[in-house]
A and B are shown apart, each in its own frame.
Chain A
Amino acid sequence: MNPGRIDFEEYRLPNGLRVILHEDHKVPVVCVNIAYHAGSKNEDVKRRGFAHLFEHLLFEGSRHVPRGAFDQHIVHAGGHDNAYTTEDITNYYEVLPSHQLELALWLESDRLLEFAIANESLETQKSVVKEEKRERYDNTPYGSVSIRMNRMAYTNFPYWWAVIGDMETIEAATLADVREFYETFYIPSNAVLVLAGDFERNRAMALIDRYFANIPNGRTTIERPIFNDPPLTAERREIIREEPVPLPAVFYAYRVPPEGTDEHFALDLLSDILSSGESARLHRKLVYDLQIASETAAYVDSRECPGLFYSYAVASEVDCESAALEAAFEQVLNEVAANGVTEIELEKAKNKMEARTVATRVTLQGKADQLAHSALIFGDPGVVNESLGRYQKVTLDDIQHVALRYLTPKNRCTLVYEPNH
């Protein structure tokens, strides 16, 4: 019994493109997902935000698909498409009725085949991305958290900037930069193509061969940044009073091991024990008992290289002293490190993880995304079927161990937001 199991088959084309098939005929729908092992950590320091800007540009035309036509073709076919960029990867997908499978393969292969992005597109998408940054980061309360945390938590490694980048480096991007990024990272051997849904295996393989097999692999070798940031040794801390926020809030970020490690699974469960559901420790103590907070959370920002364990509490009232909020908040975290958690809490977190794993694997897109992610980050899509087992193995000692080792003030970056009135 393996709830949420995703069956798949995997092979490589001679040009290095990794292909994963998940056949499922429940509804006449197919998801085409292609992910590239390129994210913001692959950017030049002077081009911060570039991988994400590039993601926008890849919808702006390719050799046989003029500007604006990509989305039109997909929409016209009754489908939808989108993409996202993280620190580590960029993922593109189309979900469409199954009789339109070939259309998506044509479009995706064309933009991997040949660079054809015009300057006009670059200028428009710079504006769009700058508006995206304003909307999500600059004009949103606490919107600067991830930007500030990255800058505090990493000194040298390219996780120190946010995926969105900043206005100046986005503005400075040139068409030559775009071409270089494309030629370096958008090559078959740096990608994984996943098909999930209602297709017939042999025909799908023939179509993939037809559209992707003759795309040459690049000549470049990709240099990957090596993580050599020194461990944090003392708390880094900022108090922010100049941004308009509705309520005082405290955010913590602890540097933690990469995803896929044993410690990552333990930390992930610990984040649930702290914050998932109204019976979780942070909610129970800060929101329910003390009524000092209106909102609490904890989660692991999983990354290919050492990531961050985030936890935060937002005050319940505007005149709350942020120091009191922080003291109560820190006490909950210290208690875990000092005394561990209970058997019941651990079992609860494992049950939550099982339910969540299953729930994210209800849609074809959810399944395709997880297969692509595992294939790129771990070199093995099958890892998706091992995660629940890894969570099940976590013990009470493991939880206390990671709390003691990582949730300590010296391994922490702290942001305190105070309303400025």
Chain B
Amino acid sequence: MQDSKNTPLDRSRPPEPGPLPKIAFPPFEARRLSNGLSVYIVEDHEQPILSIALYLRAGAVLDPHHTEGLAATVADMLTKGTKRRSATQIAEEIDFVGGSLMAGTSWDALTIGVNVLSKYTKTALDILGDVVQNSTYPAEELERVRLQRLAGLRQAKADAGFLADMVFAKLVFANHPYGKQAMGTTESIERIQQQDVISFANDYFGPENAFLVAAGDVRSEDFMRQLEDYLGSWRGAPRIEDTIAPAPVVAGRHVGLIDKEGAVQSAIRIGNVGIPRNTPDYIPLTALNTLLGGYFNSRINLNLREVHGFTYGARSGFDARILPGPFAVSTEVRTEVTVRSAEEIVSELTRITSDFVTEEELRMVKNYMIGNFPLQLETPQQIASRIAMIVLYGLDRDYYDTYRDKLATLTVEDLYRVSREYLNPSDLVIVASGNVQAIEAGMAEFGEIEIFDEEGERMHAPVTL
């Protein structure tokens, strides 16, 4: 370390860093309840708060055909009445202690979370245990939830980015579940019956098909005892094996445009099928993506924002799920530069798959990701969500212990290999939602155009220009 006091200040060069601090992934306890439920506990007593999350392997990927949005509706309904409490009582009790109770779905899991001041741990567990075991899914509450979801969908469709995401998923994944809408469609939400909700819960809810993570101001022994009281007698569905096949990668170029009334910007999405979360190439691909569009200094953001001033921001990312999820570059740009922005994005994808990245770029990304690691372990909730990733996606138990070493050994050849394997600029779905009239002619340079309405339905046969 430099001696700051005795050397004269030279502002012309950045100061040398001190030695890299050691950091280990924080210790956590893995336990099991008598009914088989796996429990992970991160103790942190700095602030008197606690967050608990129960993950059920019952994500939107399991929505039945034509019943998109069912898992999401089940999540909404979970907190809307039990054998012991009405929806109103549940809300009153958790609100009274200043806590929050929320249930939601991703593609891979349905999660029920409770955050409370730790002095109210018992209240939190009492309510969590009740909604997990005794929910009654009342029919009149379903009507309320239905109205809410329809309003939510109407709001979402007013957003150009949402429309672009919807059509992008549809073109990339076609009839695969990932091509559907996890939040449901107007039609599917109107179709969902109370019995659908009950069947879904019966099929997938049970301790073998779930795990729980608690993080914050708890003592693990006490917590396990309390958990046994409130969740120990929970029984339910056995683990159901996944039988859904991955979607094939889209070949060739496909262009989708959505007409967005009154738009002054276009939301652009460009990409294809990406990777599953447990791929051994995840770390090199994350490094590659960071360099390409994963952070502020990425090639795509610097190109579109800093060089051209086309956008407030542009990014790329792999949405890695149990099955291969999408890879997409996304940005919002003003209407007049839509085509030029898409050209720049395609050209960045071409460049990264045809040339090695520079040693300097890779060094920057490695420094960033290695240095950034401790920043992601600052709060107990951050640690808990990483443990949940390990469990949900079946990663190695030492995944985060070896993470920085694996990053450090990456080479430009490694990045080149994965870029060739996973990104092919001649196979791309290119979607823009905005003022179609203004961009249609220009977008035709990328391939055959299909036009979609705000419901995500094809409006007419491809135009010929």
Contacts and interface: CB of A to CB of B under 8 A. Distances in A.
Interface stretch (A260-268, A298-306, A356-364, A402-410): A356-364
Interface in A311-353: 314-318, 344, 347-348, 350-353
A156 interface: no
A13 interface: no
Contacts of B333: 131
Contacts of B332: 131, 134-135, 139
B144 interface: yes
A317 B151 CA distance: 6
Interface stretch (B9-17, B103-111, B384-392): B9-17
Contact of B117 (A3, A127, A131): A3
A344 B96 contact: yes
Interface in A208-238: 210-211, 214
B14 to A, nearest CB: 6
Interface stretch (B46-54, B57-65, B230-238, B419-427): B46-54
Interface residues of A, number: 90
A102 B261 contact: no
Contacts of B263: 139
B371 A77 contact: yes
A176 interface: no
Interface in B144-164: 144, 147-148, 150-152, 154-155, 157-160
A101 B94 CA distance: 41
B446 interface: no
Contacts of A26: 46, 378
Nearest to B367: A76
Interface in B323-341: 332-334
Contacts of A355: 49, 98-100, 115-117
Nearest to A294: B151
A177 interface: no
Contacts of B95: 276-280, 348, 352
Contact of A100 (B115, B116, B152, B371): B371
A26 to B, nearest CB: 7
Contacts of B152: 294
A316 B23 CA distance: 49
Contacts of B94: 277
Contacts of A191: none
A215 to B, nearest CB: 11
A329 to B, nearest CB: 16
B379 A362 contact: yes
B151 A359 contact: no
A12 to B, nearest CB: 21
A244 interface: yes
B438 interface: no
A63 B147 contact: no
Interface string A47-82: 000000000000000011000100111011111100
A169 interface: no
Contacts of A382: none
B403 interface: no
Interface in B178-192: none
Contact of A358 (B49, B88, B295): B49
Given A99-B19, A139-B263, 5 more contacts: A131-B332, A210-B4, A214-B9, A362-B381, A363-B378
10 contacts: A64-B11, A75-B296, A100-B371, A103-B17, A107-B14, A139-B332, A207-B4, A278-B87, A294-B151, A344-B96
